[in-house]
Amino acid sequence: MSTNLAAAKRIMVALDYAEAKQAESLVRSLEGIPCYLKVGMQLFYSAGPAFVRMLKEKGYNVFLDLKMHDIPNTVKGGAESITKLGVDMFNVHAAGGKQMMEAAMEGVDKAIQAASGPKPLVIGVTQLTSTSQAVMNEEIGIEGTVEDAVIRYARLAQAARLQGVVASPLEVVRIKETCGSGFVTVTPGIRPAGADIGDQSRVMTPEQAFAQGTDYIVIGRPITAAPDPRATLEAIIASVEGL
């Protein structure tokens, strides 16, 4: 099939593997499809910066999903190091507060000034898509609805100069209404029709998520655990063409 380039570039395939060899096998199977690739904690802690550099050398856009959450100075240093890697996007926890997120942006600016490389999108994690309202209220200790908490974090992230947030597709419409259409939304919790929702609580299909107006969707196990990951990704791309 001929790949719809615009749609492919808005789909992030989560490389949720323990080792580089496993991830490299998937990347080879997807060769020629210009999707985004998401590198999370497990793979990054195992394979390190060299793996990210390899993906960039192959021409992929990379979202480094480490969800930094620490004191501002530590996050500033982390953001500087990540920016020097040349990733296209990375995230920090909005729960770390405005000062911490501002420090992340300072780290990005410092790296850009020193190396004159590309400037990554920095996005804030609002509420994980595995978090239900009961967990948020009773265990995390945040009152109100998940949507209200997400919107509060989105406003805070925007005030700190972040370019967008990670949120479930259920909150995309309100985020765009509150922060503007140019404020980027990245939505995990995406499951093609009929797929197992696993440990996710707030999910949508790819078609539904793009219809809500999100900019990027993140899909992991439905692709990586499929008998034919390439065919699965191509089918998803075809299903969202034009949305």
Q: Which of 88, 116, 119 is nearest to 105 (CA)?
A: 119
Which DSSP string do the residues of 207-230 spell out, in sequence order?
Answer: HHHHHTT-SEEEE-HHHHTSSSHH
**Positive or negative torsion for Cα 150, 152, 153, 155:** positive
For residue 125, report the phi and psi dihedrals to the nearest 5 degrees. Answer: -80, 125
- C-alpha 117/C-alpha 78 separation (Å) is 16
Which DSSP string do the residues of 135-174 spell out, in sequence order?
Answer: HIIIII---S-HHHHHHHHHHHHHHTT--EEE--GGGHHH
Catalytic residue list contains 67: yes
Q: Which of 187, 177, 78 is nearest to 127 (CA)?
A: 187
Residue among 67, 84, 98, 110 flagged as catalytic: 67
Q: Which of 75, 131, 139 is nearest to 108 (CA)?
A: 75
Catalogue the active-site residues: 67
